[in-house]
Structure 1
Amino acid sequence: MARPKTASLTAEAVVQTAIELIGEHGLEGFSMPKLAAALDVRTPSIYHYFANRDALLEAVARTVATPDAPPAVPDGGDWTDYLIGQSVALRRAIVAHPHCGPLLIRFMPRDNMFGEYEQMCRFLAASGVPAALHVHIVDGLTALTMGAAILVENAADYADSGQGPSPDTESHPELRRALDTIEGTTADELFESYLRTFLDGVLRRA
């Protein structure tokens, strides 16, 4: 790992290096002295940007939970497609850093929560979705996305075309038959189908 000069140290560099170290060694192997060594600085230099370890880990969680390229707000498009695109992008961003996933449970970014929820409710209202459904949609999508991201794998990984282990037919015949029905489906596609099922259910109840 390249070591930046002290003069070029920034909060963003500290966070990105922390993400790399956690990815390499896990949370258990992460420490502020190790981070300082990777940055080629003394440990107190890090505290110039972050008051303590928890403050840094909170910044790590916020960065990991921010997709690089969130979908653009559609102009007159289907609101369900937009929300599902957002959720898929968020899950993909978190899954890319599996060792950081547990941080989202402890350090769920909440500083902009009301602002983000307000923006989402305005979008739903402008799309003609009744206010009575807004909390169900926003809360439900958040719970599904965070849960699916922290679990990392889903059933698509256990199909023959997936990256995880696959059950054999003799020991698990019904599970094997069920997995065969999603053969060739990617983890993102399967997750998207979960979201559509959830949204369809919310709309049917309305």
Structure 2
Amino acid sequence: MAVSARRGQPLTLEEIYMTTLRLVDAGGVEGLSMRKLAAELDVNPMSLYHHVRNKEALVRETCAVVAARLRLPADDGTPWQDQLRALGHAYRSLARSHPSLWSYVNGHPDLSRQENALWAVFNRILTAAGIPAEDLVRTRRVLYSFVSGFLTAETSGLLVELEGTVDADSAFEVALDLIVAGLEARHSAVAGPPPELPSR
């Protein structure tokens, strides 16, 4: 583990990733550089390369650390509707806490695809909602795009610019209501009408 003469103590991956996140929150991924990170950590820039290969790997690993902190709903028998709402709120909380990083990930599908735990929980909830296995990926992508569109408008201020004063919390609840209602309606359509009772 590299030790800086100025710091007098070794760097840790946790320190590197959390400092990276703070810099990205302040100036975006585009404003991040290995040199800026090194200055913030008070180390020689070359010391960072003992821990991370390059800026791309640094951002990727920082994304993984943030994603791992996502509070995903447990598989505890709670109705799928409630689990879906909890998942939506957890994802929105991440986007609002780190809008610059979230926006970057949202624009780089290869990064968003690495959130395996998120997709596994999403698939589980959609399965509980009655979505057939062959439709899981398509349905998940549509709903992800819908929610991401809302969050893009919210985090960029576009939601307010288009509609004037908007209660974003209430608007997000409406979005979740629409998703739940749509899935319930789709399940009913796939399942078909209940069988008729035999006449006496």
The TM-score normalised by the length of structure 1 is: 0.69
Give the distance between the partners of 1:101 and 1:116, measured in 2 at CA: 14
Q: Is the 8 A contact 1:91 1:148 kept in 2?
A: no
Task: Return the letter of the residue paired with 2:35.
Answer: P
- Is the contact made by 1:101 and 1:149 (CA closer than 8 Å) also made in structure 2? no
Q: Is 2:51 the counterpart of 1:49?
A: yes
Structure 1 residue 32 displacement after superposition: 0.8
Going from structure 1 to structure 2, the CA distance change for 1:139 and 1:9 (only over 3 Å counts) comes to same
* CA deviations over 1:146-202 (Å, ceiling 9, x no partner): 3333333489973xxxxxx7x8xxxxxxx56xx6xx6xx4x2332132122023223
- Name the CA distance, whole Å, in 2 between partners of 1:111 and 1:70: 15
Alignment check: 8 A CA contact 2:23 2:32 kept: yes
Listed one character per residue, the Cα deviations across residues 23-80 of structure 1 (whole Å, up to 9, x for unaligned) are 22333432111100111111122122211111111223333445443333332x2202
Conserved? CA contact 1:94–1:101, under 8 Å = yes
Structure 1 unaligned spans of 5+: 159-164, 168-174
Match of 2:185 in 1: 204
Partner residue of 2:171 out of 190, 199, 206:
190
More helix by share: 2
Count, aligned residues: 180
- Select the structure of larger CA radius of gyration: 2
With over 3 angstroms needed to count, the CA separation of the structure-2 counterparts of 1:67 and 1:13, relative to structure 1, is same
User: How far is the alpha carbon of 1:14 from its aligned partner?
Assistant: 0.8
The 1:119/1:84 distance shift into structure 2, 3 A limit, reads closer
Paired residue secondary structure (2:87): helix
Task: Give the structure 2 partner of residue 98 of structure 1.
Answer: 99
TM-superposed CA distance for 1:142, in Å, is 2.0
Q: Is 1:110 the equivalent of 2:91?
A: no
Distance 1:200 1:110, change over 3 A: same
- Percentage of pairs with the same residue: 27
1:68-114 deviation digits (Å, cap 9, x = unpaired): 43333332x2202111211211121122122223320225232353x
Deviation beyond 6 Å, 4+ runs, structure 1: 154-157
The residue number in structure 2 matching 1:140 is 142
Matches of 1:118 and 1:68, distance apart in 2: 13
For residues 145 and 190 of structure 1, what CA distance do their matches in structure 2 show? 12
Equivalent position amino acid for 2:114 in 1 = D
Worse overlay, 37-46 or 93-102: 93-102
